[in-house]
Structure formats: C-alpha cells, structure tokens
Amino acid sequence: MVTTNPAPGRIWNRVPPLAVPAAVLAVFVVGLTSNVIGKDGLTAIDAPISDWAIAHRNGVLTPLAKTISNLGGTVAMTILAVLAVLVLGWRGYRRAAALIAATGLGAWVLVDGGKNLIGRTRPPIHDHLVVKTNFAYPSGHSLGSIAVIGVLAILLIPRLRRPAARWIVGIAATIFVAAVGLSRIYLGVHWPTDVLGGWSLGALWVILCFSAYRYFIQRQDRLEQPRDAAQLRDAV
C-alpha cells in the first residue's frame, strides 16, 4: 500500500495563526531572561541607552514622562480593566469581560512572580526621578499596559466598522504602550531590557489568553449547534 504525505501547504494551514508569533515571543522571552540572569547578551544595551536618556532630560519631557508613566501604572490600568469588565458584563458580554479579567490578573501574577524570581536590581537610585523600591525585571508598567491595552484593542478593533477608525485605535494603542515603556527608562527606574521583557512577556500573555478565549467560543458554538438543530426538529 502506497501512502502519500500531506501537502506541506495543508499542514501549514492547520497551524493556528497565533502560534508562530507566540513561539517567537516565547523564545525571545527565554533568551532575554537568560541574558538578564547572566548579565550578558542584550543587557549590553542597557547602560548606553539609559545614559543617553538621562543626558537628554529637560523641563518639557520630564513632566510628560511622569504623566505617561502614571497613566500606564498599576492603579490606572487596574481601574481601566475593572471599568471595562463592569461595562461589558452589564451589557451582556460576559465572555469578553472574563477575558479582560483573566488577562489583567495573569499580568499581575507574571509581574510580581517575575520580579521576585529574577530579583534584578534597578538602575542606580541617584538616577531615579520617581521612587521605586521593588525589583526591576520585568517592567510592570510595560507588561501591565500592553496586557490591558492590548486585550482591549483586540476586542474593540473588530467591532469598528470604518477601516480608518481601526487604524487609529491600533496606532494609538501602540504609541501609548511604547510611550509608557520608554518613560520608565527616561525616569531612570528601569533598564531597557526590563522594558523589552515586559513588552514581550505581556504580548505573549495576551496571545495565549486570546487564543484560549477564541477556542472556548468556538467549542461552545460547536456544542450549541446540535442542540439548536434538535430543538428545530422538535418544533417541526
């Protein structure tokens, strides 16, 4: 009996669309974390970038960086996530509300667990423009903002009818998350690799949460289809 291998294109089509970026991010997170622990590799960019940011501080950028940092902080992101959960739950979008809640809570666990597990010290305290006493890696502001803003953007953008509106929301979300991370470097409380770690781990977490959310919806829809068909036959 002769067997033929499936066409490569068909095998590739079976791979979930988000599996590739998730795999790339996972590899990057593992590699970056290894560099941070070993104090080598990408951590070579930390001192030069931090020194450049500190050297370019001025009276306009400093208050702006503090404002952006506060908007992307734990308190602001928690308030935003809770409001989104309450509004979506009240309007009947319970699955979307659960997705936001799970993403936000998971992000908090990743930040707290990662900081205490890695135990990386922050940049020298004399460079700090705001007071921070906990560990550095990953950046909680970077991870939290990309998790909350990212999942909200994923839920909102498909519901916008106009392509222009979708682009505006997507670009605005990207700029905000980037600005939050960069503000932490400018304020002297994070190394650049702390921010990279927060962004990459947060993006990976959003992909995993959204993939689980989509799988749950598809599975629930498949289970409800036979039930609806049976009800239709009984009605006839």
Q: How far apart are CA 18 and CA 206, in angstroms?
A: 11
**Which helix or strand (DSSP H or E) is residue 25 part of?**
helix 19-38
C-alpha dist (Å) from residue 84 to 97, 172, 174: 7, 18, 19
Q: What is the DSSP letter of 99?
A: H
Per-residue pLDDT reduced to its tens digit, 56-70: 999 999 999 999 999
Per-residue pLDDT reduced to its tens digit, 22-57: 999 999 999 999 999 999 999 999 999 999 999 999
Report the candidate in 35, 17, 16, 40 with the shortest Cα–Cα distance to residue 200: 35
pLDDT range class, residue 223, cuts 50, 70, 90? low
Q: How far apart are CA 183 and CA 179, in angstroms?
A: 6
- pLDDT at site 232: 41
CATH 1.20.144 fits 21-219, yes or no: yes
Q: How far apart are CA 102 and CA 89, in angstroms?
A: 14
Flag the least confident range among 11-25, 87-101, 135-149, 183-197. 11-25
Report the candidate in 231, 123, 236 with the shortest Cα–Cα distance to residue 184: 123
Return the number of other C-beta atoms located less than 10 Å from residue 69's C-beta.
23
Report the candidate in 188, 66, 67, 176 with the shortest Cα–Cα distance to residue 139: 188
Torsion of CA 222, 225, 230, 232, to 10 degrees: 180
**Residue appearing with tokens 């550095």:** 136
Tokens of 55: 């050297």
Report the candidate in 204, 19, 181 with the shortest Cα–Cα distance to residue 107: 204
Q: Residue 228 above 80 pLDDT?
A: no
- pLDDT at site 10: 54
Estimate the crossing angle of helix 192-235 against helix 94-118, to 10 degrees.
Answer: 150
Q: Is the peptide bond before 63 cis (omega within 30 degrees of 0)?
A: no
- pLDDT at site 229: 47
Per-residue pLDDT reduced to its tens digit, 117-143: 999 999 999 999 998 888 999 999 999
- pLDDT at site 1: 46
Contact 173, 149 (CB under 8 A): yes
- pLDDT at site 133: 82
Q: What are phi and psi of 160, to 5 degrees?
A: -85, 130
- Region 196-205: mean pLDDT is 97
Tokens of 51: 């020194």
Q: Residue 12 above 50 pLDDT?
A: no
